[in-house]
A and B are shown apart, each in its own frame.
Chain A
Amino acid sequence: MAAVIDREQVLHVAKLARLRLSEQEVERMTGELSGILEHVDRIGNLDLEGVEPTSHVVELENVLRPDEPRPSWPREAVLAPAPEPVDGAFRVPSPQAAES
């Protein structure tokens, strides 16, 4: 039986998810995801025409509160756990080089 998901698709999905996979991981992932998706595909054949999808189990209604200003966290506390805080901001490598 043909795999549900092939190597090319695994590489494409990994790119979408910003995950770099090793050659070994691509190999493993292709087999494992196919196995799981085969199981999951059982629900693909159910006739669920007209059934409302559930995204949330609790009935929620909008609740409004007064829009009053209040202090937010201190900037230093939020920046403290960052790998490279600089001048009150998060420093990241240049996105420009990504175009190569």
Chain B
Amino acid sequence: MTQTSPLTTAQTGVLVLLRLLIGWHFLYEGVIKLYSPGWTAKGYLLSATYMESFFHSLASESMISTIDTLNIAALLIVGVALILGFKTQAASLIGVGLLLMYYLAHPPFPGYPLGPAEGSYWIVKKNLIEAAALLVIFLFPTSVSFGLERFFAKKEIQTQPN
């Protein structure tokens, strides 16, 4: 992917930082779940307060192990991609999808039960903000400046005839 960067070095730097931090968060969540054999999203899905029938169907006997595997895989893929700087746009969209699912299962809508939370929320909560941040990552790709894609980008530039 080529980009004609209208951004200053500092702006790019901050975007890279944001990408790394979100990648870090996804990766750690994925690794913890990967190495905790008893972990399952069942409780989270069954306690959904919104779109219950959808989330309950994901938690059903026939679905749950697939859902757990997909969830862990998606967390790891997004985390690895954002940190390494490879296919970050696809990873950002997967991340947004995951975060919106987490958000919609327990949304802090007015009148909905909040459940245990580390802060006070009204409509907006942290995973929604993280999803919005991923949209920024999607729209301002930085992996050519910092990441594996720099490798390919350079190659592309070099191999193009002048």
Chain A complexes with chain B:
no
Partner-A contacts on B (CB < 8 A):
none
